[in-house]
Structure 1
Amino acid sequence: MKTVLRYIWFQVLIKPLVLVVLGLNIRDRSRLHKHKQMILVANHNSHLDTMVLMSLFPFKRIQETRPVAATDYFYKSRLRRWFADNIIQIVPVQREIRSVRLDPLASCSQALKKGQSLILYPEGTRGEPEKLENFKTGIAHLSKRFPEIPVVPIFCHGLGKALPKGDFLLVPFYCDIFIGPPIYWQGNRNTFMKSLNQTMQGLAEQGNFKPWD
């Protein structure tokens, strides 16, 4: 039953909505199909981000791809938690770890060990439309644990205008998705983060977009 509901949500509702209303322009989409398992790393400006990124895959791959999301937001109510666990199938993480004994990346590691792919937003929260914030180093620690899994950077442009933070009304807006080359753990956290940040900045500059008014 859950599989049927997920199919209806992504294939019947989300994909047509994304294709018809948003009109995505996807650059280098073939990079998503070169690896069986990935950690997708993207900027985060809208609730649409996860829906759009998951819609880039066929349904079989959607079943194997899980977005990392904060429990303090998605577990606020029973309905929201049910939707997060059963339809989107998030990997729940706590943004504030109060005990040094707890591993904040435990749930992510468990999902990767099962062969699943992740969608991760290293900025930590939704920011201003298309304005890149500093990435947190959790992605470097995760890549160090799984150096054989490619980290694929993705820059999303326009989604923060189509459905801004705090809004619930979708505005038709032409959006661009830039998919970068894979990055692997290079043996050093600072080197890895520098490479990731530079790649993301390069993707953001590809469209030569003017700042939002």
Structure 2
Amino acid sequence: MHRSCLGSGPSRLAALLITSFAAALTGARALWRGSQPSTGARIYFANHSSHGDFVLLWSSLPPDLRARTHPVAGADYWNKGCLRRFIINDVFKGVLINRRPGSGPSDAIAQMSHILSRGDSLILFPEGTRNQSDTLLPFRGGLYHLARACPDAELIPVWIDNLKRVMPKGRTLPLPLLVTLTFGEPVQLGHDETKEHFLERAREALLTLSKEDK
């Protein structure tokens, strides 16, 4: 793991500044429907349109849960440059996944399972990439394998509305718009459920939340 070149001292201040700026800019509000904040291990899975997605989701959690909730992110992006490494490692305590050719998916599942086994939570984007379209992409298999490996962790769908318009891909400065994060009911993996069926159910859970936001 890369060590931060800015040190550990500024991390709390940086977290406060980032969360305050995100809240002031977007007016983000969290709607809990069917689930409430919990100290147990959870996998928050959400739609993905911007690098700001995990920042707002993390910021929307109660302060006592943020330190135990870790975004899952690509090491190839976040290990580029001192500032990115500081933000993901020191501020958000992220789980960096190696996406280079030759790295097996079992390694990533093992990384994430270790976090959940400690009772901490994860923020995951099962589309696997930032999506600028109006259609939710099919989910990749990681969510299924993680749910199978960690059956005691709750899977909470979270629909992030409007962030694509606040921080569109390629834009340096965000636009001030209202963002809503809707937390839905937990999704459970069936004992004999196939990967395809489970992933489609999880995707439908997000789509349902998106319609409730309208």
TM superposition score category, shorter chain reference: 0.7 to 0.9
Query: 1:124-167 CA distances to partner (integer Å, 9 max, x unpaired)?
Result: 11110654111111100000011111100011111111111222
Separation of aligned partners in 2, 1:191 and 1:35: 29
Partner in structure 1 of residue 120 of structure 2 = 116
**Partner AA of 1:150 in structure 2:** E
Describe the SS at the equivalent of 1:105.
helix
Cα offset for 1:82? Answer: 3.1
**Partner AA of 1:155 in structure 2:** W
Partner in structure 2 of residue 190 of structure 1 = 196
2:18 corresponds to 1:23: no
User: What 5-or-longer segments of structure 2 have no aligned partner?
Assistant: 1-6
- The 8 Å contact of residues 39 and 65 in structure 2, kept in 1 or not, is answered as no
**Partner AA of 2:28 in structure 1:** L
Cα offset for 1:180? Answer: 0.9
**Partner AA of 1:15 in structure 2:** T
Separation of aligned partners in 2, 1:43 and 1:99: 24
Q: Pick which of 39-48 and 70-79 moved more.
A: 70-79
User: What 5-or-longer segments of structure 1 have no aligned partner?
Assistant: 209-213
Separation of aligned partners in 2, 1:130 and 1:175: 16
Within a 5 Å distance, the mapping from 1:30-109 to structure 2 comes to 31-98=35-102, 103-109=107-113
After superposition, the CA RMSD in angstroms is: 2.2
- The 8 Å contact of residues 161 and 179 in structure 2, kept in 1 or not, is answered as yes
Cα offset for 1:91? Answer: 0.2
- Does the C-alpha gap of structure 1 residues 81 and 185 become closer, same or farther in structure 2, counting only changes over 3 Å? same
**Partner AA of 1:204 in structure 2:** S
Separation of aligned partners in 1, 2:101 and 2:187: 27
- Does the C-alpha gap of structure 1 residues 87 and 35 become closer, same or farther in structure 2, counting only changes over 3 Å? closer
Cα offset for 1:95? Answer: 2.4
- The 8 Å contact of residues 129 and 159 in structure 1, kept in 2 or not, is answered as no
Partner in structure 2 of residue 211 of structure 1 = none
The alignment of Structure 1 onto Structure 2 pairs a total of residues equal to 206
- The 8 Å contact of residues 97 and 108 in structure 2, kept in 1 or not, is answered as yes
Separation of aligned partners in 2, 1:196 and 1:6: 34
Separation of aligned partners in 2, 1:50 and 1:96: 22
Cα offset for 1:59? Answer: 2.6
2:173 corresponds to 1:169: yes
TM-score in terms of structure 2 length: 0.86
